[in-house]
Amino acid sequence: MKKNKRKKVVVSTPGKLMLFGEHAVLYNRPCLVCALNQRLFVEAEKISEDEILISAPDLKILDFSISLVDLDKEQPKEVRFVLEAIKNFFQTYKVSSGLKIKTESQFSAEYGFGSSSAVTVCIIKTLSELFQIEMKKKEIFDLAYQTVLDIQGIGSGFDIAAAIYGGVIYFLTGGKIIEPLEVKDIPLIVGYTGIKASTSEIVKQVKKEMERAPRYYQNLYNQIAKIVEKAKIEMENSNWPAVGKLMNENQEILRKFRAPSIEYGVSSEIIEKLIEASLKAGAYGAKLSGAGVGDCIIALGENREGIEKAIQETSGAPVSVEIDYQGLKIESF
């Protein structure tokens, strides 16, 4: 039976948080990541004009338009992921059409919940639906990862995996392993530092330091990898006090990085304050999440109210999230 031609589709993906293994995962070590119940939505529609129209009010883009023939040109930062994903999809599947795209996010792009990777995944999925090209999850991953590398040059792809698969994932660099884990009811608390961190800047600084002291960093990454393996087991056993302890150990190693600062490594004063406040309020453990310096900290503990209050009183902002188990989802045709 011939399927109906689709003209318009809406898909959504969850945001993400790194639980364990940041930085090391860039260098062929595993990490643990979870998807969050705050989602990013993309609506895409074929249009007869040879242009792409984008409206992304969260990014303050109301009516961006570009002709299809200009897709190869350098694009403004805010729409780069959308346009690169479209270009890569068109090239890979030898299709083309004018499009009208709308994006909307339930989370602020400031939190570091992965809006760029989420939008990239959504665009590829909407196009696979509009052009009726079946793509397996791993094919979506590969094309989205390629898109992110085209733009950023470096990245492990953990955020893309979270957007597609949802849940809690054991992940190895570039998607060499994407293993969804049976983990439920994590007593996870999230605090925003109030500072937007630039992942690519921090990654570049660490890389530079690493080139100066390769053995030192390889040793840190190996220690992180061991923690990730232990955390995987303890999370599957729901042994939260043990997972918390491993968070503290992971944080201790992140402090030993010599970039961006000698004093805090990839951590920072505000991150340390929020961690200390969380631990004092009874958290089993706490650490930064992602590249570091700013964005969010994560803590584990049963006393959610007390820990969130402590974060608030230390000039952080608690962000109420749960784990998402749905991953990439078609909302409507």
Interface with ligand PMV, residue 277, by CB under 6 A: no
Between CA 238 and CA 234 the distance in angstroms is 6
Q: Is 142 a catalytic residue?
A: no
- Residue in the structure block whose two tokens are 């990898």: 225
Residue nearest to ligand PMV (CB): 290
Interface with ligand PMV, residue 22, by CB under 6 A: yes
Q: Which of positions 48-77 make contact with ligand PMV (CB under 6 A)?
A: none
Residue of 290, 294, 316, 327 that binds ligand PMV (CB under 6 A): 290
Interface with ligand PMV, residue 291, by CB under 6 A: yes
CA distances to 93, 258, 326 from 87, in Å: 10, 38, 27
Min separation Cβ 174 and ligand PMV, Å: 10
- Does residue 260 have a cis bond before it (omega within 30 degrees)? yes
Which of helix, strand or coil describes residue 303? Answer: coil
Interface with ligand PMV, residue 112, by CB under 6 A: yes
Interface with ligand PMV, residue 115, by CB under 6 A: no
CA distances to 87, 105, 108, 303, 321 from 93, in Å: 10, 28, 32, 51, 37
Q: Closest CB to ligand PMV among 199 and 251?
A: 199
With helix as H, strand as E and coil as C, how does 54-71 read?
EEEHHHCEEEEEEEHHHC
Q: Closest CB to ligand PMV among 9 and 291?
A: 291
Residue 98's closest CA among 71, 133, 59, 132? 71
Q: Which of 58, 63, 142, 159 is catalytic?
A: 159
Interface with ligand PMV, residue 18, by CB under 6 A: yes
Residue count at the site for ligand PMV (CB under 6 A)? 15
Q: Closest CB to ligand PMV among 45 and 232?
A: 232
Min separation Cβ 17 and ligand PMV, Å: 7
Interface with ligand PMV, residue 23, by CB under 6 A: yes
Interface with ligand PMV, residue 156, by CB under 6 A: yes
Q: Closest CB to ligand PMV among 141 and 158?
A: 158
DSSP 73-118: S---GGGHHHHHHHHHHHHHHT---EEEEEEEESS-GGG-S-HHHH
Phi/psi region, residue 118 (left: phi>0; alpha: psi -120 to 50; beta: rest), is alpha
Residue of 158, 170, 217, 240 that binds ligand PMV (CB under 6 A): 158
Residue 314's closest CA among 286, 284, 278? 278
Site string for ligand PMV, 197-226 (x = CB under 6 A): --x---x-----------------------
Between CA 130 and CA 5 the distance in angstroms is 8
Interface with ligand PMV, residue 14, by CB under 6 A: no
**Which residues are designated catalytic?**
159
Residues of this chain that interact with ligand PMV (CB under 6 A) are 18, 22-23, 25-26, 112, 155-156, 158-159, 199, 203, 290-291, 295
